[in-house]
Structure 1
Amino acid sequence: MLLGLHIKDAHFSTTTWVLQSAQAAFQILSDLHLETGNQYKSFQVPVQAPILILAGDIGRLHDYENYLFFISTQCANFDQVCLVLGNHEFYGVSRAEGLELAYRLQREPSTLGKLSVLNRTRLDVDPSICVLGCTLQSHIRTENRAEVQSRIKDFRRIHDWSVDDHNTEHAKDLEWLRNEVDLIRLESKRLSREKTILVITHHAPIRKGSSHPKHEENPWADGFATDLLGVPEGISRVDWWIFGHTHFTNQWRQHGVNLVSNQRGYAFNTGNEAQLSQEPYQQRIWRIISSSFTREMRFDPRKCIEVKAL
């Protein structure tokens, strides 16, 4: 049952919902790429949980009215919609223009006050469950700079966007995440009550496992992921991490973190997703178990996780 949600955001503040019990169910989707074939009005999300996480690359904010239609539909169907901006959200506009369009979505009457744009934003979904969200662009190392710049379309499709801008935003997001995690852990110590931390980013926080194995060692992989787990300069003491961007669906546990991605990638709406959403429960469980042996998992529009308080 949803009672209220405390939101801490340096850019935009509102108060909407909070879960009554110390657990929360989230439905997870990313990389829908609805700009492909203009699928904003045709792609359907079967409701499986009260809170929907959209972990970036849903479409282009430049397609504002169509993007708004899709988001408004989800806000009508879910109790809460959490949106992290991916790189494709900014295609056709500058970063500043994209952020303004995203915050405009929050103010639209049709989103019913249910949309939270997570741009260095903390949501307390429950007194014991905290959500931290930001884009977290990857860190592009100097030796891979030219390769990434030539292969990644961001530097041609996002207005006034450079590798230096990309790395600067990565550093800002990383610093914000570290500070928020430290603050939450201090709160936990003061209250003698551990808090579960769920992080949502678009770019991946780890290289191995977040992309198809054949891509993990490519020099342009710097444009997709940064190793932030299990390293001194990274992020520690978080419980869940939701990400997208790599077009590789996977779920595993590493360095004490539950890592989850559910990425559609470039696809036309042929009805396969609708068929998958109606797949019998036992068949779907067997498919997921079988796929774990091959490290290949399929995008599932019904994908959910249940996060419990520690």
Structure 2
Amino acid sequence: MASAIFQIMSDLHLETHPSYDHFDLQQTAPYLALLGDIGHVGDERLFNFLEKQLERYWVVYFLLGNHEPYFMSLAVAKAKVNAFAEKMKRLNAKSTIGKHDLTGKLTILGCTLFSKITDDQEDAVAGRLVDFKAILRWIVDDHNLAHETDLRWLNEQVAKVEREEPERKIVIFTHHSPCGDARANNPKHQGSEVSSGFVTDPRGEVCWKSSAVRMWAFGHTHYNCDFEEEVTGKRILANQQGYLMIPEKTFNMKATYRLGE
């Protein structure tokens, strides 16, 4: 089947001064996936940055992370991003949000996939995660509802591909982590009382169990990984930059990934 070469990265946190002035994204592939926490939607510099990438790459996949909606509601943030996407389409640029059949045999699915905050961690997560102060009118119930909505959508999309196009392969992009595997998580956070604010375990879900899903790439944790999950054979990937003053040493801007093999 035809494959495609990607740069995949997340958590650039360009909102941290002076990142927009100094961050130089070096292109090494025709396709780019930006998996959230790139910058604040309320800052026009984010859209200027995205428009610049749309001029360079064949396709840019952009997901909302949890930082993009800071200082506004999630609904307003989504509306602003969708308006930008429509503007780019009118300018004949390529912008993709949601589901995209990249080739005749490869589908890209993308969503934020907010985590599922557990009852026993609700108070700790609500008290310690900035999201519940910086995103307007955002509480744990909203966070968990968003998780359920995205998870249901992923399951439905994967099941539909399996049913209607069984020869097609799927790559999933999310911002939040779908993987509790020790290889995907910083050992210093093991046993954290706010872990469910970052990671969800979907091992019983269609979107995780399906053999059609060949890769799942994510961000949010500021911990990088690249390994094969033995049960399903899918590739688990995170390539996150982190904050300007606390960068992830293993982040590789120039890394390329061949999808669809």
TM superposition score normalised by structure 2: 0.92
Q: Match of 1:31?
A: 11
Tell me which stretches of 4 or more aligned residues in structure 1 moved more than 4 Å: 109-112
Structure 2 letter corresponding to 1:199: I
Identify if the C-alpha distance between structure 1 residues 234 and 220 changes in structure 2 by more than 3 Å, giving closer, same or farther: farther
Instruction: Give structure 1 stretches of 5+ with no counterpart.
Output: 1-20, 273-295
Deviations 1:58-109 (A, max 9, x none): 000011x211111111111111100011000010110110001111221335
Q: Match of 2:49?
A: 70
Q: Match of 1:14?
A: none
CA distance in 2, matches of 1:80, 1:94: 27
Which among 239, 243, 257 is matched to residue 262 of structure 1? 239
Deviations 1:223-257 (A, max 9, x none): 0010113x357632111001000000111111321
Which among 45, 56, 59 is matched to residue 25 of structure 2? 45
> Is the Cα contact below 8 Å between 2:155 and 2:205 reproduced in 1?
no
CA distance in 1, matches of 2:224, 2:11: 10
Question: Could you say what secondary structure the match of 2:259 adopts?
Answer: strand
Deviations 1:14-70 (A, max 9, x none): xxxxxxx7111111110000000042243111111111000000000011x211111
Structure 2 letter corresponding to 1:152: L
Which among 97, 113, 130 is matched to residue 76 of structure 2? 97
Q: How many residues align?
A: 255
CA distance in 2, matches of 1:258, 1:217: 25
> Is the Cα contact below 8 Å between 2:19 and 2:244 reproduced in 1?
no
1:201 aligns with 2:174: yes
Structure 1 letter corresponding to 2:42: H
Q: Match of 1:84?
A: 63
Deviations 1:157-193 (A, max 9, x none): 000000000000000100110010000011224xxxx
Identity across the alignment (%): 35
Identify if the C-alpha distance between structure 1 residues 233 and 107 changes in structure 2 by more than 3 Å, giving closer, same or farther: closer
Q: Match of 2:257?
A: 305
Q: Match of 1:213?
A: 187
CA distance in 2, matches of 1:175, 1:83: 20
CA distance in 1, matches of 2:2, 2:141: 41
Which among 190, 194, 198 is matched to residue 224 of structure 1? 198
Q: Where do 1:1-310 residues align within 5 Å?
A: 22-63=2-43, 65-109=44-88, 112-116=92-96, 118=97, 121-189=98-166, 194-208=167-181, 209-229=183-203, 231=204, 235-237=208-210, 238-254=213-229, 255=231, 256-267=233-244, 298-309=250-261
Structure 1 letter corresponding to 2:63: V
Instruction: Give structure 2 stretches of 5+ with no counterpart.
Output: none
Question: Could you say what secondary structure the match of 1:68 adopts?
Answer: helix
TM superposition score normalised by structure 1: 0.78
C-alpha displacement of 1:111: 6.9
